[in-house]
Amino acid sequence: MLWKNILYKKSFMFLEKLKSLNNQFEIVAKKLSDLSDITGKIEYKELTKQYFYLRPLAEKFIQYSKLLNDIKDTVELKTSEDHEIIKVAFAEYNDLIEKKDKMETEIKNLLTPPDAHESKNIIVEIRAGAGGDEAALFVGDLYRMYTRFAESSGWKYEILDSNPTGIGGFKEVVFEVNGDKVWRYFKFERGVHRVQRVPATEASGRVHTSAVTVAVLPEAEEVDVEIKIEDLRIDTYRASGAGGQHVNKTDSAIRITHLPTGLVVSCQDERSQIKNKIKALKVLRAKLYEKKVLEREKQLSNERKQQIGSGDRSEKVRTYNFPQNRITDHRIGYSAYNISEIMDGNLSGFINKLIEADIKAKLKMSKNI
């Protein structure tokens, strides 16, 4: 009865969950061993993703099952009439229970649903909102913050499109970041970023509040989104803004309209019309992929509310208060008082707080295991 009280009530559902996942792993592994059963690239990619998620859980199923059996054997030894055996059994039992608790924590972390975009590069869009010139200047500040963060992390970045102002800011800037786990660290930046400070253009010293929006799009591949040429309207025009001698000299800028959805993207940063077209298509593909993902996630809206932010561009995520040297993330109620360091690209500590909170939220959702 003691064995059942200690283990069956606390661990039986846990073991059954792992057993079910182990069965899924065996099915996926069998399909991947015979490629003739796989219909195409998309199915192969999905099966591969499932395989690498399920494999460590299948390994834990074997280890956890053995551990529970060892605990069961030790419990039975505790009823022995030999005092030396009982003494050893008690010591071993406590050690096994400690291992069980540790393993259950490891399994819970493995059960955290993998992010579908974890391995993808990203496209970041920063756009000025309310605040006029000050908002445009803050777009430039955030662009500098993100690119310095990328450099310190060993990631590469490239501007895809920009609309600079004459005072050192941007009405908008679009750039891509390539590297390991870039999505994990940038995905929490999506939403409205509000800045409170005395603008460089303000003579009276009055604090202004401005806002910019940040969108982070997982870069889409051709297998993620199919774009048909007949669905596109492609227009060329002359580049404008502070862009060098080629500005207003050639029709190198590209504007692409996706007719079925009405999505419009443009690119004017390159001298070459072909290069601008390639970059614009990259952004369009990412936007179409984001639209597809958001439509799918509407069915999971209740779960997404429990996670750290919905990714909605209208959601106010952070306030940068320069007079108080404070940055506050409104989703987790966390403030840091080193604004100059963070604006210089030292984002890791801040973002790690968001990652920890997101993991806790996801684990809370899996408490029914």
The helix/strand count (H/E) of the chain reads as 10, 11
Task: Verify that 74 and 183 share a domain, yes or no.
Answer: no
pTM: 0.65
Structure confidence at residue 38 (pLDDT): 67
Task: Verify that 31 and 49 share a domain, yes or no.
Answer: yes
Question: Can you tell me the mean pLDDT for 134-154?
Answer: 94
Structure tokens, 15: 């073991």
Q: Helix H segments across the chain? A: 2-3, 9-33, 41-77, 83-111, 132-152, 182-186, 273-297, 301-305, 339-343, 348-365
**pLDDT classification of 247: cutoffs 50, 70, 90:** very low
Residue with the two structure tokens 């596109």: 232
Task: Verify that 130 and 215 share a domain, yes or no.
Answer: yes
**pLDDT classification of 243: cutoffs 50, 70, 90:** very low
> Any idea which of 145-159, 234-248, 318-332 has the lowest mean pLDDT?
234-248
End position of a domain, from candidates 87, 111, 135: 111
For residue 119, pLDDT beyond 60: yes
Structure confidence at residue 203 (pLDDT): 64
With pLDDT > 90 as the criterion, what percentage of the chain qualifies? 28
Residue 336 belongs to a domain: yes
Distance CA 26, CA 356 (A): 31
Domain, as residue range, for 192: 122-223+307-363
Task: Verify that 133 and 213 share a domain, yes or no.
Answer: yes
Residue 76 CA, chain-centre distance (Å), reads 48
**pLDDT classification of 2: cutoffs 50, 70, 90:** very low
**pLDDT classification of 303: cutoffs 50, 70, 90:** very low
**pLDDT classification of 306: cutoffs 50, 70, 90:** very low
Distance CA 292, CA 14 (A): 34
> Any idea which of 67-71, 117-121, 215-219, 313-317 has the lowest mean pLDDT?
313-317
For residue 186, pLDDT beyond 90: yes
Top mean pLDDT of 29-38, 146-155, 202-211 is at 146-155
Structure confidence at residue 82 (pLDDT): 65
For residue 329, pLDDT beyond 90: yes
Question: Residues near 302 by Cβ (< 8 Å), separated by ≥ 6?
Answer: none
Top mean pLDDT of 47-51, 110-114, 159-163, 246-250 is at 159-163
Task: Verify that 50 and 88 share a domain, yes or no.
Answer: yes
Residue with the two structure tokens 């179409």: 288
Task: Verify that 178 and 286 share a domain, yes or no.
Answer: no
Q: How many domains does the chain have?
A: 3
> What CATH code is carried by the domain that includes residue 234?
3.30.160.20
Question: Can you tell me the mean pLDDT for 268-289?
Answer: 84
Question: Can you tell me the mean pLDDT for 239-244?
Answer: 54
Dump pLDDT digits (tens) for 80-105: 666 676 777 777 888 888 888 888 88
Task: Verify that 210 and 241 share a domain, yes or no.
Answer: no
Q: Max CA-CA distance within the chain?
A: 97
**pLDDT classification of 307: cutoffs 50, 70, 90:** very low
Task: Verify that 141 and 205 share a domain, yes or no.
Answer: yes
Task: Verify that 218 and 319 share a domain, yes or no.
Answer: yes
Structure confidence at residue 310 (pLDDT): 46
207 or 40, greater pLDDT: 207
Residue 117 belongs to a domain: no
166 or 367, greater pLDDT: 166
Rg (CA), the chain: 27
Task: Verify that 218 and 315 share a domain, yes or no.
Answer: yes
Residue 50 belongs to a domain: yes
> What CATH code is carried by the domain that includes residue 341?
3.30.70.1660
Question: Can you tell me the mean pLDDT for 285-291?
Answer: 85
Residue 250 belongs to a domain: yes
